[in-house]
Structure 1
Amino acid sequence: MRLTPGSVPLSAWRAIANGEVATLDPAAMPAIKASADAVGAILAKGEAVYGINTGFGKLASVRIADADLATLQKNIVLSHAAGVGAPMAPATAKLMMALKLASLARGASGVQVATIQLLEAMLARDVVPVVPAQGSVGASGDLAPLSHMTTVLIGVGEAWFQGVRMPAADALAKAGLKPLNLGPKEGLALLNGTQFSTAQALAGLFAIERVFQAALVTGALSTEAAKGSDTPFDPRIHALRGHKGQAEVADALRALMEGSAIRASHAVGDDRVQDPYCLRCQPQVMGAALDVMRQASVTLAIEANGVSDNPLIFPETGEALSGGNFHAEPVAFAADMLAMAICEIGSLSERRIAMLVDPALSRLPAFLTPKPGLNSGFMIPQVTAAALVSENKQRAFPASVDSIPTSANQEDHVSMAAHGARRLSEMADNAAQVIGIEYLAAAQGIDFHAPLASSKPLEAARTLLRAKVPHLEDDRYFAPDMEKSHALIVGGAIAQTVGALPGLQGDLT
């Protein structure tokens, strides 16, 4: 996946997150070299410039002798590699490296061409830094995690090489690479920036896309299982309100149910006037989530193409300007929006599960078992879904409203973007588990309507599940069924099976 700095589309970051190898457009090299030359020219003037020949943070007023500049850059990398906790997923670490590569290649960071080439070679040869995921407050950049990434470039710390964890120096050697000697400004350029938070947020966004697509299908299946109406999906209703996502979700649900014999049976002898909100208000809730996802994706696409280290080098004037592009507030806001969206997607799904297991609402056998009492059926899977939804509610509290002063009050307001972004993948997986339980429950409910069949796409989705999980006649060990259903959600198989939906062609965001 070739990266053209400053104009990389979201689809390229999605491809990299899914395993494509990032390479840099060679046309970026002149700007990179000009930026490095500008740093040399600044040093030749003998002036004190932050990050090049001074200390860092609160120590910015301390002037560093020319003979110590290489040591200065090495020291900042080693001292800032102070992360803790489990390492970030290797696939997300690769995405972070690609984001850093594209940012440095804008030609405003003052790094050597050799530094760019080493990052690119590590990606090509599957050398992935082991990066503890905790320790960033999202300003001044993601210092700790990016420092752990950078230590590997100088042969320190740990890395995976072709999936095997080992000392960084060994990983580089096995890949035929040599550690880097950092030049002036390079250590700071590599560890300053928002690439950790942005990578985590993008990984979360892409996971949420898959869950969203699956939830549309399981929502339609649940509507069928409850013999719900598709009248709430009439386009005239949604045109009067005007929200794009809402109208698109209604179109998709209507298409999913088109041609269903179960749906046709609703119009005959059904005394229910209106369905519960969990069925009737799917376009309003899921559509709002889709609009929020798209808004967040715009912010993240801009951030992914931006330059967020400090100071920034302007070769055309020979200036090094100190600012605050490392402050990750845009990423924090985007992550908070995504957290609320995935929380609501899972919450609505759990309400549909609860509706299906309640015979007073669904008019199906209690807990979706033919022999309630002797069998508990879907009683406890619904409890599990409720537990996961409540966990996501607790995690959805906005991270961006928190701040804590750091670096002796020099960095006195921070974004907490790393916290906000890091939770997203786990929240998406919690929601995927909930959607997986709904998938099982809705398919079970539709089984009770035989010989009536659902629509062609929904029957395809049910057949996909039934190839892995048989109908639940009597109680059995439930966890393996849930694991198989969950795999179909996170792998995107359910969305692929039903095919393209009106208004939701291609990538959602």
Structure 2
Amino acid sequence: MENETVILTGRSLTLEEVEKVSRKGAKVEVSSEAIQTLKDARQLVYDLANSDVPIYGFNTGVGWNKDKRVMKEFFQQYNTNLIHSHCVAVTPEASIEEVRAVLLVRLNTLLLGCTGIQPEIALMYMEMLNRGVTPVLPERGSVGEADIACLSHIGLAMIGEGDAYFQGVKMSAKEALSKAGLDPVVLGPKDGLAIVSSNALSAGEGVLVVRDIEKLLDIADMVYSLSLEGLNGNTSPLDPKTHEIRPFPGQAFSAERISKYIEGSYIYEPNWKKPVQDPLSFRSAAHIHGAVRDALEYLKKYLTIQINSSDDNPCLILDERRIVSCSNFEVTNWVLGFEMIGIALSHVSKASCYRTIKLSNNEFTKLSRFLAPANNVIAYGTIQKAFTSLDAEIRHLSNPATTDFFSLAGEIEDHANNSPYVVQKTRKIVDNLLYILGIEALHSVQAIDLRTDITLGKGTKKAYKIIREKIPFYSEDRNLTIDIQKIYEILKDDKFIGEIMKAVELF
């Protein structure tokens, strides 16, 4: 992947490409047309300034200080001061992968030519990505109407101050730039505002969270398939005709995917001892997972627009040679998508918890209580505390936060979204869910083993094999924290779902 290059135009960046650059080391190249746009936009800003037009953040202050004039001889000092004064974020740091996503998203939106930034500074984002320079970026402190408190730390690294990583090693930003063969930038008019004022933190981190949710849903479908076999459950809710009658695309997709996983399974065999309907946590799984898939389509649509459009104020309109104050940093539309996803994932979590509880209940499985292999083994009794406590966190995190804001900056900035926090709490929900689904998977493979001599589906057979290669049958009581961490790491590894997809010929 390191040899792959993503060409940036400002208008065609995909969520998949963001992941390729941020996580897999793909290189970045800016199109020649985009470079020319940057040059033309910079010249227009100078032309307007020379005509004595007041330009926010160029020859005026920003925020409440918009009424203050900035003279030409103070441009460099003012923009350096702007970077310094906006560095107010607090830890924890965003990961290297996340910061790379932030750099990429901001670079792409700069290429639209709506800021008037120096082309050399815009291209510094590309050089940082390609040479492995990653600014240290505290990820808390932004209210989400442009992530100014956090993105200022990228500007700090660009001028050779603060800290950065070079090829994964943390050091001073000045040293990191030197090792990469880069000189610190010299800030000019409007450069400081262009660096700090965008939603690149929430959008960059948001793209990676969306990619993780897509993988999580495939995992959730797979784990449910194992649990259905562990329960000896009913397949009737997967009947494609029922989904044709109620044509919500997400549930039909999950139902089809689950059917692929369990194709050839013993649970299709007629069994008069089996109840005609299972508990809703089993019966409605495809529908619940499908609801998240449908919500995700909304979010992906608007997040893709976000990373391919300008969120700058003021907005330079190059073809009409004017600059307009606006509110394009407003992100309510796609931040609401993350809030919706958080609520939807809480349903996935609750259903998984209930399935796991049912798998420990001999009244439902007709197996032993807590899936114990013998009377003198406690098995999965206490583990219920662990996954239900994780679900309680998810329930709390799924509460909306986008409406919690103050009126700031002389009561001019009286709306906000808390978009970085909304994205970050969704990220935490996803991580908790991996543990919860992992614990469900531990129960499902144990139930499968206790049934003995049964035929698994094409996909579930592969999943069972991968899990059992690292986590043996629960034959006697042991430290389950170790098992929980192992199953979490199995599910988190892209190879898990990738190998299963190959087994069922989905790619």
Q: 2:3 corresponds to which residue?
A: none
| Secondary structure of residue in 2 paired with 1:128 | strand
Alignment of 1:241-390 (within 5 A): 241-261=246-266, 263-265=267-269, 267-372=270-375, 374-390=376-392
1:483-506 CA-partner distances (Å, limit 9, x unpaired)? 11111211123311221699x967
Query: Is the contact made by 1:332 and 1:399 (CA closer than 8 Å) also made in structure 2?
Result: no
Query: Is the contact made by 1:205 and 1:338 (CA closer than 8 Å) also made in structure 2?
Result: no
Separation of aligned partners in 1, 2:409 and 2:139: 20
Q: Which region of structure 1 is more displaced relative to structure 2, 492-501 or 314-323?
A: 492-501
Aligned residues: 501
Separation of aligned partners in 2, 1:437 and 1:24: 45
Q: Which region of structure 1 is more displaced relative to structure 2, 491-500 or 416-425?
A: 491-500
Separation of aligned partners in 1, 2:371 and 2:134: 47
Query: Is the contact made by 1:109 and 1:311 (CA closer than 8 Å) also made in structure 2?
Result: yes
Query: Is the contact made by 1:153 and 1:179 (CA closer than 8 Å) also made in structure 2?
Result: yes
Q: 1:399 corresponds to which residue?
A: 401
Q: 1:123 corresponds to which residue?
A: 129
Query: Is the contact made by 1:252 and 1:501 (CA closer than 8 Å) also made in structure 2?
Result: no
Query: Is the contact made by 2:10 and 2:111 (CA closer than 8 Å) also made in structure 1?
Result: yes
Separation of aligned partners in 2, 1:14 and 1:293: 17
Alignment of 1:35-46 (within 5 A): 35-46=41-52
Q: 2:429 corresponds to which residue?
A: 427
Give the aligned residue type for 1:32. L
Give the aligned residue type for 1:251. E
Give the aligned residue type for 2:231. A
Query: Is the contact made by 2:397 and 2:426 (CA closer than 8 Å) also made in structure 1?
Result: no
Question: How far off its partner does 1:198 sit?
Answer: 0.6
Query: Is the contact made by 1:204 and 1:425 (CA closer than 8 Å) also made in structure 2?
Result: yes
Give the aligned residue type for 1:217. M
Percent same amino acid at aligned positions? Answer: 27
Q: Which region of structure 1 is more displaced relative to structure 2, 321-330 or 311-320?
A: 311-320
The reply to whether residue 145 of structure 1 matches residue 147 of structure 2 is no
Higher relative contact order, chain-length normalized (CA < 8 Å, sep 6+): 1
Separation of aligned partners in 1, 2:250 and 2:49: 53
Query: Which of 453, 459, 462 does residue 461 from structure 2 map onto?
Result: 459
**TM-score scaled by length of structure 2:** 0.96
Alignment of 1:119-268 (within 5 A): 119-139=125-145, 141-261=146-266, 263-265=267-269, 267-268=270-271
Query: Is the contact made by 2:42 and 2:117 (CA closer than 8 Å) also made in structure 1?
Result: yes
Separation of aligned partners in 2, 1:494 and 1:175: 36
Query: Is the contact made by 2:9 and 2:31 (CA closer than 8 Å) also made in structure 1?
Result: yes
The reply to whether residue 65 of structure 1 matches residue 71 of structure 2 is yes
Query: Is the contact made by 2:212 and 2:430 (CA closer than 8 Å) also made in structure 1?
Result: yes
Q: 1:410 corresponds to which residue?
A: 412
Query: Is the contact made by 1:33 and 1:113 (CA closer than 8 Å) also made in structure 2?
Result: yes
| Secondary structure of residue in 2 paired with 1:2 | strand
1:150-201 CA-partner distances (Å, limit 9, x unpaired)? 1111111111111111111111111111000111111101110111011121
Query: Is the contact made by 2:261 and 2:460 (CA closer than 8 Å) also made in structure 1?
Result: yes
Structure 1 residue ranges, 4+ long, deviating more than 4 angstroms after superposition: none
Q: 2:13 corresponds to which residue?
A: 8
Separation of aligned partners in 2, 1:145 and 1:317: 32
Question: How far off its partner does 1:264 sit?
Answer: 3.6
What residue ranges of structure 2 are gaps of 5+ in the alignment? 1-5
Give the aligned residue type for 1:64. V
Q: 2:97 corresponds to which residue?
A: 91
| Secondary structure of residue in 2 paired with 1:55 | coil
**TM-score scaled by length of structure 1:** 0.95
